[in-house]
Amino acid sequence: MRRALHFGLALCGAAAALLCAAQSPAQKLPRPDHVVIVVEENRAYSHIVGNMAAQYINALAKRGALFTQSFGVAHPSQPNYLALFAGSTMGVNDNACPFTFKSENLASLLTRAGFSFATYSESMPASGFTGCVQGNYQRKHNPMVNWQGQNVAAAGNLRFVDFPADYSKLPTVALVVPDQMNDMHNGREPDTIIRGDQWLKNNLDAYVRWAENNNSLLILTFDEDDGSEGNRIATLFVGPMVKPGSYARRIDHYSVLRTLTAMYGLPAPGRAAEAQAITDVWVAAPKR
């Protein structure tokens, strides 16, 4: 088998180099039954990691893979969400609303391949909602709605109250968007960090514990920093397929998207195709 793999890679000439690069990481990656991605807001790495105001996040970091050189790709918030979802900031450099896009993205790629995707947004007033602001809900933090009606179905644009209690009913990949009171966006430190950290524990710790015995993964990241650390943010992976530790390789939102698409054998959209999948944090699969 090793000879066959080596021969197959050797066939990758210049014209096929990108295709081969896109295919090879999948051989080193697990395929979780479910992935839940949570995006927090506007806090620099050192304001979270090692900060007792974020006790739950730091406890998760000890159980999983903590990336010490993880970065947002832009300022302000919205371009980072677009990058994580579609591999591009889509030329957006502000938090304006609304936008409509038609390009490939994580949801469209997953569903076309027979997998599933949904976003669960806290405080969104109704499933499929396309408004820009409602109370503490902000569309700028819900990237999929910008493709809704193009190549993304409204049925995947859900409220956080729709997050299933039976986690086996989750889609293949889910994006969880806390509202601006619970994503660390609003308020002063340490209070806003404590509030967001407690929200995570109250709402997602049960999933994290379930994931340990059900081949599932939590990805926790931030959109951007507060402008104090060169856009360095905390990112961590937690799940039974993760090898706990600190990892100093540089990653960003494109790296995370590249990893997700590689896990499910999908082409990576936009600039994620140029990023390297994260392959060094996984427990080796048992031999059969």
Q: What pLDDT sits at residue 284?
A: 81
DSSP string, 84-108: HHHSS-TT--S--------S--HHH
- Are residues 157 and 148 in contact, defined by beta-carbon separation less than 8 angstroms? yes
85-120: burial string, b at 16+ Cβ within 10 Å, e else: bbbbbbebeeeeeebebebbbbbbbbbeeebebbbb
pLDDT of 285 reads: 65
> Considering the domain boundaries, does residue 15 fall inside one?
no
Give the number of domains in the chain.
1
Contact 56, 234 (CB under 8 A): no
- Does the pLDDT value for residue 250 go beyond 70? yes
283 inside domain:
no
Specify if 16 maps to a domain. Answer: no
The average pLDDT across 93-106 equals 98
Any domain includes 17: no
**254 — pLDDT class (breaks 50, 70, 90):** very high
Residue 17 confidence (pLDDT) above 60: no
What are the phi and psi torsion angles at 121 (to 5°)?
A: -105, 120
HSE toward the beta carbon, residue 39, CA cutoff 13 A: 29
Q: For residue 133, which phi and psi values (nearest 5 degrees)?
A: -145, 140
Residue 286 lies in a domain: no
Q: Give the per-residue pLDDT at 27.
A: 52
Alpha-carbon gap, residue 228 to 209, rounded angstroms? 34
CA distances from 248 to 40, 67, 80, 203, 278 (A): 21, 6, 21, 29, 12
What share of the chain in percent tops pLDDT 70? 89
Q: Across all residues in the chain, what is the average pLDDT?
A: 92
Does 261 have pLDDT greater than 90? yes
Q: Distance between CA 17 and CA 192 in Å, rounded?
A: 46
The answer to whether 171 and 118 are in contact (CB under 8 A) is yes
Residue 7 has φ and ψ, to the nearest 5°, of -65, -40
Instruction: Please state the φ and ψ torsions of residue 180, each to the nearest 5 degrees.
Output: -70, -10
From the list 66, 59, 63, 28, the residue with the least C-alpha distance to 212 is 63
Torsion of CA 87, 90, 92, 93, to 10 degrees: 50
Residue 156 lies in a domain: yes
Confidence check: pLDDT of 75 > 60:
yes
Domain that holds residue 235: 32-274
Pairwise CA distance, residues 137 & 126, whole Å: 11
Domain-embedded: residue 23 = no
Residue 39 domain flag: yes
Mean per-residue pLDDT for 235-242? 98
Q: What is the CATH number of the domain that holds 257?
A: 3.40.720.10
Contact in structure between 46 and 225 (CB atoms under 8 Å): no
Average pLDDT rounded to a whole number, residues 23-29: 60
CB atoms near residue 228 (< 10 Å): 12
Of 3-17, 51-65, 189-203, 224-238, minimum mean pLDDT range: 3-17
